[in-house]
Structure 1
């Protein structure tokens, strides 16, 4: 996938603000600080179009990035961050679920997990949601460079078992430092867009 253009379009908090030109959308879901923004930046080969933050829970809106005038990446608010109020967490959950269940141009979701830690209950719940809504999903285990190569399979197995991933579910190990996993991720994006 050759990136010719990438631009931030809008931070949306309700369906009224979503772009209306009908381009396909690919959402990125994951816990706070799991590396969603870093993955977007790596795919589009830009340092900081998607703002990365050392402060978890920073993304509180659906952030739309238009790529090649062809499709959107939609960065969803990170879930599972304890420092925001329960009320705000519930509000996020509501509009994320609303988006995932009703957005007709949504073609697929990249579900991001931190390979270093066992999946949380919220990771499992998000995957169950995606399965329930029958959304094409790519599971990406980030921060592969933070653990030794010899530990990769053990951690991947733990993710597969804990999240009850079927054998058909593609899981890609990714590192923003080395670019590992990038070809598989961009191929999945291309394939999902083709089906739009």
Structure 2
């Protein structure tokens, strides 16, 4: 897959607004300040593809980026940090669960979390959801440039322990700033998005 060819298609408020031509898609989920949009921009080498903001919680819709015919990356609303009204948060939660529970082309979930805070409540909820729904999961420990090598290894070990018992789960460290881990992420996405030969 050539992720540099990714292009924005639509921001969906509800499931019915999602692209009808999707054959396979991978959703990126994470807390509002985890570096989700930055990870997508680093992967695609497009600085402004997914909107990043100094104000966490700006992604309030489900954003679809086409990487090939019928293949999509999906940026889900950030959660757990944003300074938005409770009613709006509740709405996000409902749409998020609806998408995750009923979206048929969903091939895998990338859980983006800050390597310095492995795992918060929302992350554990997403891991549990992946376990219950038997959905392949890849954990991206972002901002790895903020820790020394030993700290990175400790965080990876902690994450692996939390993922025990999950059949199809993997974890890696990642840094948008230094572009570390892009190849590992691309390879995992290819497994989910490449059409079966």
TM (norm. structure 2) is: 0.91
**CA separation of 1:9/1:82 partners in 2, compared to 1, >3 Å: closer, same or farther?**
closer
**Residues 13 and 129 (structure 1), Cα distance of their counterparts in 2 relative to 1, 3 Å cut:** same
Could you say which residue in structure 2 is the equivalent of 1:107? 107
Q: 1:1-196, aligned counterparts within 5 Å?
A: 1-3=1-3, 5-81=5-81, 83-161=83-161, 164-166=162-164, 169-194=169-194
Deviation at 1:195, TM superposition (A): 6.3
Q: Is the 8 A contact 2:27 2:73 kept in 1?
A: yes
TM-superposition CA deviations, 1:5-30 (whole Å, max 9, x none): 22111111111211111331110000
CA distance in 2, matches of 1:166, 1:29: 20
Quote the Cα distance in structure 2 between the aligned partners of 1:22 and 1:63. 13
Give the Å deviation of 1:165: 1.0
- The unaligned stretches of length 5 or more in structure 1 are none
Contact 1:28 1:110 in 2 (8 A): yes
Question: Which consecutive residues of structure 2, in runs of 5 or more, have no partner in the other structure?
Answer: none
- The DSSP-based 3-state class of the residue aligned with 2:77 is coil
Q: Is the 8 A contact 2:56 2:82 kept in 1?
A: no
Describe the shift of the 1:127–1:195 C-alpha distance in structure 2 as closer, same or farther (beyond 3 A).
farther
Compute the TM-score of the two structures, normalised by the length of structure 1: 0.91
